[in-house]
Structure 1
Amino acid sequence: MAAANDLQVTSRVIIPESDLEEQFIRAGGPGGQNVNKVSTAVQLRFQASRCEAVPPDARRRLLKLAGRRATKDGDILIEASRFRSQDRNREDARERLAELVREALKPPPPPRRKTKPTRGSVERRLKAKKGRGDIKRNRGPVGD
């Protein structure tokens, strides 16, 4: 059963609050006095390498998907400062993390098998090229 502050990613995957750490920081950019005085931006740290809720193969994909947001310790940092209120930024950061985890939970597509064109399709292509060449060769002045 999920606690109130646990992050529900899917019906099966619930990230416990103990693996999430929130820090409220001052946001940059426009906003005037509000931005300068109030810590509305959220920095969400997810301890991905230690989280048992995410399967190991998905954890590897998650750290790869996170890119520069992943630290050497296996944590994922997400900063949200899109909104003016702390609560909306908090929800935004949690939703972005959930979306990243959902993407990592999807199994990777099977590797592509290289195929060769059939002999008939090669012959048809070459015949069509020859026909176009003949058409172009027959354009222009007609010699006697």
Structure 2
Amino acid sequence: MLRHVTFRAPSASLVARCTVRSFAAHRAGEGSLEPDEEEVKAARKWLANLDADAIRQKATCDVSFSRSSGPGGQNVNKVSSKATLRIPTSSLLPLLPKLIHQHVLNSRYHAAKSADVVVQADDSRKQTDNLNTCFRKLHDLIVEAVRAAVPGETSAETTKRVEDLQKAEKLHRRKAKEYQSKKKSARRGGGRDD
């Protein structure tokens, strides 16, 4: 027995924001260019303000429950507790920063044929727990995509340390070259005073 529960977004304008052109450009891989600093800052700010329930409240989701497979006794055979969450990418991508669109589309949860993000969970005997697990997996996917696409901020101490190491390396390299130069000139006889 398969039950369908549908969550609809409070605003249909979110779906309209995703233009066909930008979606097709990201699908073709054109979004893989080096991100500019403003996009990176916006993505960091978005991640800092990300609420675990934001996607649940704003995206158009289709949730279905079915019987789990594998061990579990009679409960597995009688109760439809496995949760399957389907979110169309046209509903999900407008909610996310543009930098992570390609990472979401390349994730293992993206079904290319249906253009949906499909997340399943059957860890628990309860439908609500499995549904919450699906949304948690989706949240983890988004956080991992942001961390993969957005470079981390470098602290002032790390920047100073790197600059000091680069200066030390240049000085060491210059001394090594001078030493080699003196060694060669001594072989040629240019370094002896007769």
**TM-score bin (small chain):** 0.5 to 0.7
Q: CA deviation at 1:91?
A: 0.8
Q: Partner residue of 2:105? A: 63
Q: Partner residue of 2:95? A: 53
TM-score, structure 1 as length reference: 0.61
The question of whether the paired residues in 2 share the 8 Å contact of 1:13 and 1:54 is answered with no
Q: Partner residue of 2:127? A: 86
TM-score, structure 2 as length reference: 0.47
**2:61 counterpart of 1:20:** yes
**2:144 counterpart of 1:103:** yes
User: Any stretches of 5+ residues in structure 2 without a counterpart?
Assistant: 1-7, 10-48, 153-168, 177-194
Q: CA deviation at 1:119?
A: 9.8
Distance 1:43 1:26 in 2: 11
Q: Which amino acid aligns with 1:99?
A: D
Deviation per residue, 1:70-101 (Å, 9 max, x gap): 11243111110011111111111111111111
> Of 31, 34, 40, which aligns to 2:75?
34
Q: CA deviation at 1:40?
A: 0.3
Q: CA deviation at 1:53?
A: 1.2
Q: Partner residue of 1:10? A: 50
Partner SS for 1:45: strand
Deviation per residue, 1:13-59 (Å, 9 max, x gap): 92245422111011011111110011000011122343321122222
Pair 98,61 (structure 1): closer, same or farther in 2 beyond 3 Å: same
Whichever structure has more helix as a proportion of its residues is 2
Distance 2:91 2:58 in 1: 13
Pair 13,61 (structure 1): closer, same or farther in 2 beyond 3 Å: farther
User: Any stretches of 5+ residues in structure 1 without a counterpart?
Assistant: 111-116, 124-144
Moved beyond 4 Å, runs of 4+: 117-121
Q: Partner residue of 2:31? A: none
Pair 56,13 (structure 1): closer, same or farther in 2 beyond 3 Å: farther
Q: Partner residue of 1:134? A: none
Aligned length: 111
Pair 27,84 (structure 1): closer, same or farther in 2 beyond 3 Å: same
**2:85 counterpart of 1:44:** yes
The question of whether the paired residues in 2 share the 8 Å contact of 1:27 and 1:39 is answered with yes
The question of whether the paired residues in 1 share the 8 Å contact of 2:68 and 2:81 is answered with yes
